[in-house]
Structure 1
Amino acid sequence: MNDWNRSDTTLTIQAATRPGSPLKPNEDALVLNERNRIYGVVDGVSSMVKYYDDEGKTGGWIAAQLLAAELHEESPELDLRVAVLRANWRLRQRMQEAGIDMAAKWKRWGAVFAVVKIHDDHFEFVQSGDCMIFARYNDGSIRTLSRNQVAGFDLQSLRAKHALKELGVLTDEEIGNRMRPIHEANRNKANTLKGYSVMNGDPALASFMEYGHISRANVHKVYAVTDGMFHFIENDEDPHKWEKFIARLEEAGIEPYMDQLVEQEELDPLCEEHPRHKKSDDKSAVIVEFR
């Protein structure tokens, strides 16, 4: 696990990331650009066709690192949206060089992200996929600044998988084979009106990524997290789930909260109590506190 805590005269930053499995590379990346006050998280998305480069890195890892590198540039004029689109173009080039079939979106590598840039009286943000951004105000209220764009697709595929398991006659391999067309169809919806946004080399990302300008008036903290931090509640219908999530994260602290999640994951290795796609996912969080 990598943890990072810093402060300047006006900001205190807490951040940590850890892999979902010690046997696999962490496809999450932290963005901690102190010079330009840019902070956030990136979650790499591997292709459905397994790919490893000469160093054993996955496509998702490559995509996440490309974006993180762009957002760590030290130019004082660094524009969040421009940096994301530049990384998107470079990712497209890397995939073409690797011989990836770009015509099928489900074969592409990708990354989703939640990143903020802090200014004196406001902050900007960019977001895609299922990474989330929240703000806490001085009165304690929580503002959700993003939407989990893939939750509905995850729920659809989880329900289909559950129905296949309920038949009681299929092996795990047979279930996987039957689920594949659903996963491919969901991946092919990337950066379309019927889908969600993801940095996958598609120029349409320019239209589908979300970005904005938020006043800093009375803002106490800003949070950016990857989905591994909340995959137990991703499809929870509780209207207050995000407030409760932030409260638990605040009460425990980033690293202890991750420890608690791992303990819960170990108690539910078959993903039955908390339906999800994998026992444990990569986890990353950044908290920006205004002094």
Structure 2
Amino acid sequence: MTEMTGTSSKDDGITAFACTRPGGAGLNEDACVVNDLAAVYGVIDGVSAMGKSVLESNMTSGYIASRILAEAFQAEKLDPDLRETVLRANAVLRERMDAAGVEMASKWKLWSAVFAIFRVHSRTVEFVQSGDCMLFARYRDGSVRVLTYNRVAEFDLATLNLKHRLMEENVLSLEEVGEKVRRQSMLNRGQANCPNGYSVMNGDPELAWAMEYGSISRSGIRRLYAVTDGMFHFIENCSDPLKWERFLDRLDELGIERYIEQLVEEENLDPDCKLHPRHKKSDDKSAVIVDL
């Protein structure tokens, strides 16, 4: 497990905690951003292409995409606008894919990453987000504010429902079921940065309008959270209106590292993904928590 924890020495008393863990034995395509100098924090989730995903030096396309963006946000001097940092990294990613001969017209072949990044100012909190990474704020009265929306969830659910239906029908072979699910996933990838789709950093200039961004008042905020979907894939499609509050309560109670350890234990008890429908037993998991 790769873990980062630390305390900021900034005069405004910001304290940041971060932890990331791979979902399996391979590369961790997640990345944490802890840039105390610029007061910029967040998480990035690399998404491997559906074509050739393992490249030279045994790196995956998702790993490369997440590291390009992480390095951009870890720089000592950042653009005043977080969006511009994302868009510059997006252009670098496009150049890397072009040099590697990636077929840009096929979105399912693109290297990509989603993210949730925020910057703490003296009076405001600025943020940028894409995909299924999530941002939350907890206020001094204990209430929770969900700052972002998971636009990927409905597409993931469509794929999971298709797989479940085909398995229940028990007509096709496992290979045929896998091929139909793969085709649905390819269609989902085609919705990247489209008006009725979801946002993702994949070299497409359309990311400029597709990603979420904004600014909220810092007044009354006690704690900020940024998490990748591997932290909450058990509840991603849960209808409980208090699911995010319950998730953050548990995260606060256990701390990031212990929360991840317990989640891995629960995943191991459901290796076939039947109790908690999901695409794979275990996903990369990352969280950054900032106390103000």
Q: TM-score range by the shorter chain?
A: over 0.9
Secondary structure in structure 1 of the residue aligned to 2:187: helix
Alignment of 1:192-211 (within 5 A): 192-211=194-213
Give the residue type in structure 1 aligned to 2:131: G
What is aligned with 1:98? Answer: 100
Match of 1:19 among 13, 19, 22: 22
Residue identity (%) = 56
Cα distance in 2 for residues equivalent to 1:216 and 1:171: 54
Secondary structure in structure 1 of the residue aligned to 2:258: helix
Cα distance in 1 for residues equivalent to 2:78 and 2:179: 49
What is aligned with 2:262? Answer: 260
Secondary structure in structure 2 of the residue aligned to 1:123: strand
> Structure 1-normalised TM-score?
0.97
Divergent runs of 4+, >4 A: none
Cα distance in 1 for residues equivalent to 2:80 and 2:209: 20
Instruction: Give the conservation status (yes or no) of the 8 Å contact 1:232–1:274.
Output: yes
1:78 is displaced (CA, Å) by: 4.3
Secondary structure in structure 2 of the residue aligned to 1:163: helix
What is aligned with 1:223? Answer: 225
RMSD: 1.0
Cα distance in 1 for residues equivalent to 2:42 and 2:186: 28
What is aligned with 1:277? Answer: 279
What is aligned with 1:49? Answer: 51
Unaligned runs of 5+ in 2: none
1:3 is displaced (CA, Å) by: 2.0
Give the residue type in structure 2 aligned to 1:195: G
Instruction: Give the conservation status (yes or no) of the 8 Å contact 1:16–1:285.
Output: yes
1:169 is displaced (CA, Å) by: 3.6
1:83 is displaced (CA, Å) by: 0.5
Instruction: Give the conservation status (yes or no) of the 8 Å contact 1:112–1:199.
Output: yes
Cα distance in 2 for residues equivalent to 1:36 and 1:149: 28
Cα distance in 2 for residues equivalent to 1:250 and 1:133: 15
Alignment of 1:20-169 (within 5 A): 20-21=23-24, 23-75=25-77, 77-169=79-171
Cα distance in 1 for residues equivalent to 2:3 and 2:185: 33
Give the residue type in structure 1 aligned to 2:170: G
1:2 is displaced (CA, Å) by: 2.0
Cα distance in 1 for residues equivalent to 2:81 and 2:57: 31
Cα distance in 2 for residues equivalent to 1:173 and 1:71: 41
1:171 is displaced (CA, Å) by: 3.0
Cα distance in 2 for residues equivalent to 1:263 and 1:52: 28
Evaluate the alpha carbon distance shift between residue 151 and residue 77 of structure 1 in structure 2; reply closer, same or farther with a 3 A threshold. closer
Instruction: Give the conservation status (yes or no) of the 8 Å contact 1:70–1:87.
Output: yes
1:5 is displaced (CA, Å) by: 2.1
Instruction: Give the conservation status (yes or no) of the 8 Å contact 1:29–1:64.
Output: yes
Alignment of 1:231-270 (within 5 A): 231-270=233-272
Cα distance in 2 for residues equivalent to 1:89 and 1:78: 18
Give the residue type in structure 2 aligned to 1:17: T
Evaluate the alpha carbon distance shift between residue 57 and residue 78 of structure 1 in structure 2; reply closer, same or farther with a 3 A threshold. farther
Instruction: Give the conservation status (yes or no) of the 8 Å contact 2:22–2:30.
Output: yes
Cα distance in 2 for residues equivalent to 1:76 and 1:48: 32
Alignment of 1:172-187 (within 5 A): 172-187=174-189
